[in-house]
Amino acid sequence: MHHFFVSPERIRSDEIYLQGADVRHMNSVLRMKAGEQLTVSDQCGNRYTCRLERYEQKNAVLTILQKEDDAAELPARIYLFQGLAKGEKMEWIIQKAVELGVHEIIPVETGRSIVRLDAQKAEKKAERWQAIAEGAAKQSGRGIIPVVHGILTYQAALEYAAGLDVLLIPYERADDMNITRQALGGIFSGQTAGIFIGPEGGFAEPEIELAVARGIRPVTLGRRILRTETAGLAVLSILMYHLES
């Protein structure tokens, strides 16, 4: 069943009015006809099973058949601070992180980042990444569209993370798996957690020292060194299992 998002003001009594690109996609790409069913999330914790009634000017008019709590979201909010990755890796990371339940993605420019973007290119990338997040949220039946922030410097990312409950930074020189088990297992429902992932070259030693000084805990992900496109997704997979068990 196809899944869409709507702002609460587009919900009126027993009807929902979709508009814009979603309507064009439903009509021209999916070829949805009156009578077909779909699900809609309002990003406020509600999910609606609906029936398409008709296309009306620029709207798709839906009748609400059932309303229920949206159970697709993880009970803790996970923030992925992802070091900029080159090529299509960043797009792949964003898509898969959304599928695994991330709440926000914050691209971070670090000392060893290969990718360097000027303001104009960074803005276009941010728009592209947000569109990828929206597509992944629809495909995976998420209750929200995770926000992909504009690129932050490492210092700005540390400041943004300061208010989160738990902060972890996978680091190849960390070596106690018991600490990792304790740290990931200590994230509970209702909490916020930030995960810092380095770029292709990893974090520089001074960046790790600065993170530790800010209360971010280094953890190991095992005896193998993971690529930047693997590390964050490994953590998210563990947290998804832990939080939904």
Structural domains of the chain in order of their starting residue, each with its CATH number: 3-69 (2.40.240.20), 77-244 (3.40.1280.10)
Q: Give the tens place of pLDDT for each residue, 181-219.
A: 999 999 999 999 999 999 998 899 999 999 999 999 999
Q: How far apart are CA 210 and CA 205, in angstroms?
A: 9
pLDDT band at 175 (very low <50, low <70, confident <90, very high): confident
pLDDT at 115 over 80: no
| Strand-pair partners of 64 | 50
In this predicted model, what pLDDT tens digit does every residue of 20-66 receive, in sequence order? Answer: 999 999 999 999 999 999 999 999 989 999 999 999 988 999 999 99
